[in-house]
Chains A and B, each alone.
Chain A
């Protein structure tokens, strides 16, 4: 798991306008914040933009951070606020729900945004581990879709399957990964108890 600790002097220096110190903060928390926002950002929202706004707002409000309290908790509170703002903005788009989101998914994501932020970091770590465990052909399939962003048509041509079969394969892989993550989370919670 990522190390959430941050030397108090880093925050102090950033508060005094030391951009190198603030850069250290962005580098330290870039990944968990982006992952958390990505997983909770409603369809159609730009999750990296929300993550950036989180850091920018954090910089502007560093004076308000209370020394001795949890910096990650403070940062994720800002992230929640920024996400809420983005969600509100999206909902105000006249045709948002017909274009992007089943409103019920939207609500479920909003509910989950209240969960501890550490769960999403754990989820990401387990997801990547589960992907490793899939084996080369399946992993390559996921890479094509998510890393290389190859169109379904081309994926179909590369594999000699129909587009429908490619979609089915993606469904299966997403489900497998989801189940794998849930198992690992359950094992982790059981172990902790």
Chain B
């Protein structure tokens, strides 16, 4: 048989998925020996793929939807927009508004395409689009008919929550549907009948089982259980936690197993692997639900608490997220910008700092805004490593960060540590929270005013107000250094705190550095780090106030 004839047979078998191993080898030999066949194979493969693409008629809408669902959303308007569309589509054109309707129908709008490709199979495209609409509407009917809304738990706070069930978006109404729900972004506040308040933060999967319990498959949850609801139970894949009148939280994930933290009162914790060893936990205690019921340090900043959530919801409602988006654009155009880093793994990989920063340890968690990811530092060694500016020096420098701290009072909470400090290089910079919960900006070789050289050489510039009251909330920390004015000025949530004057003040130098850690066992960070901006000038007070106001997630 001529090569062309054999190629026709083999190639058809190949495209139909019926070519065996011997056939693969034969086909490869033919393609290797006959260059024209290679071109023909590629031509016919592309025809085959394009026919397949065009044949998947009507899936443009689902492609768009699926794509948008995967985009890291930075706009609250996105969720609101989806929900508004859902509600609009839910309403037949000739029916009155159905505010308060609990049934949600998706009816995607199929926009006409300008593409000349519609010359082909217009009917089929339309039929397929209609079929898609039927499927979507059918799915929504399925939602409404088969899924009973929960009667024992209500949504009372919605901070940009995007909920899905079985791969479909579920409108966040007051009533939730039964079954396993995925909180894809945002934070959700639930209230149970007897006053139990539960806050669940994305990403999470959960199931409100009955009036007495909730199953948390994964994610972070905080609960306030009043005395009359004692016995409320949170179940997880690793065990269960039974409330005995308290405020507590759980973090269940593949990395962290299931952690239980008790902020007030007591709970009984029962590990799946050690069913006989229930442990009562009281205020300030935490453990891992493992066979050993390993004790942990309490982390209150790791959870969004019921009392914090209303302020987050209000912040979103007044457009704080959009305000921050606009500010982000502005700061990136600032000529004095040294570094703007969102500690979002995707932004670190693809964003403006791609290739300049590397992440060690840490865990991606929700940042200040729904859909925005940041890094959670907890373990020794959790760090972001970066190199900024090499040997360059800055006479003036402003550092500002949005963080959420868990624990204070440990030796140091590391914010930004340059690596060459130990070499005694003047101007090397360390920014941290001290054991007295004050912000510190230390520069190698600097001597603060009044300190006699050699006598108090380790005195560093500290803020005067402890950061402590801001534990467990997002806080904006800033330090403004001016070697010419020989001052360090501290700002807490945009408000000026303290100025420390120096007798000797070297220009600042960065270079190789770490965020959230340093090469010392007492320099780590426990909490979330969302954003860091470094500018090569001394920002005036009003600009610091404006930065805080633009990025503040609270109202």
Residues of chain A at the chain B interface (Cβ within 8 Å): 1-3, 15-20, 22-23, 26-27, 30-32, 34-35, 38-41, 43, 47-48, 51-52, 55-57, 59-61, 63-64, 98, 102-105, 108-109, 112, 123-125, 127-129, 131-132, 142-143, 145-147, 149, 152, 167-168, 170-171, 174-175, 177-178, 181-182
Contacts and interface: CB of A to CB of B under 8 A. Distances in A.
A100 B64 CA distance: 28
A36 B401 CA distance: 42
B78 interface: yes
A152 B48 CA distance: 15
Contacts of B311: none
Given A17-B325, A19-B77, A102 B27 contact: yes
Interface stretch (B39-47, B416-424, B439-447, B483-491): B39-47
A171 B12 contact: yes
Contacts of A15: 329
B75 interface: yes
A167 B70 CA distance: 39
Contacts of B99: none
B143 interface: no
A55 B47 contact: no
Contact of B119 (A61, A132, A181): A132
Contacts of B27: 102
Interface residues of B, number: 69
19 contacts: A16-B329, A17-B321, A19-B77, A22-B68, A23-B68, A31-B60, A41-B49, A52-B63, A52-B67, A61-B350, A63-B329, A104-B38, A108-B42, A123-B46, A127-B47, A143-B121, A147-B121, A167-B16, A177-B47
Query: Which one of B44, B47, B70 has the greatest number of beta carbons of chain A within 10 Å?
Result: B47
Given A57-B350, A64-B352, A174-B47, A20 B81 contact: yes
B553 to A, nearest CB: 15
Interface stretch (B50-58, B165-173, B466-474): B50-58
Query: Which one of A30, A102, A168, A174 has the greatest number of beta carbons of chain B within 10 Å?
Result: A102
B46 A26 contact: no
A20 B75 CA distance: 10
A131 B120 contact: yes
B116 interface: yes
Nearest to A112: B42
A32 B54 CA distance: 11
Contact of B38 (A35, A105, A171): A105
Contacts of A146: 51-52, 54-55
A102 B63 contact: no
B89 interface: no
A168 B8 CA distance: 8
Contacts of A177: 47, 51
Given A56-B67, A178-B47, 15 more contacts: A19-B73, A20-B77, A22-B71, A26-B67, A30-B64, A59-B72, A60-B350, A105-B38, A109-B45, A109-B46, A123-B46, A124-B54, A131-B120, A131-B121, A167-B13
Contacts of A175: 44
A38 B52 CA distance: 8
Interface in B24-39: 24, 27-28, 31-32, 38-39
Contacts of A63: 329, 332, 351-352
Given A57-B350, A127-B54, A178 B45 contact: no
A47 B116 contact: no
Nearest to B326: A16
B70 A104 contact: no
Query: Which one of A19, A103, A123, A132 has the greatest number of beta carbons of chain B within 10 Å?
Result: A19
A150 B115 CA distance: 27
Contacts of B128: 147
A181 B116 CA distance: 15
Nearest to A169: B12
Contacts of B41: 102, 104-105, 108
B146 interface: no
Contacts of B56: 147
Contacts of B521: none
B117 interface: yes
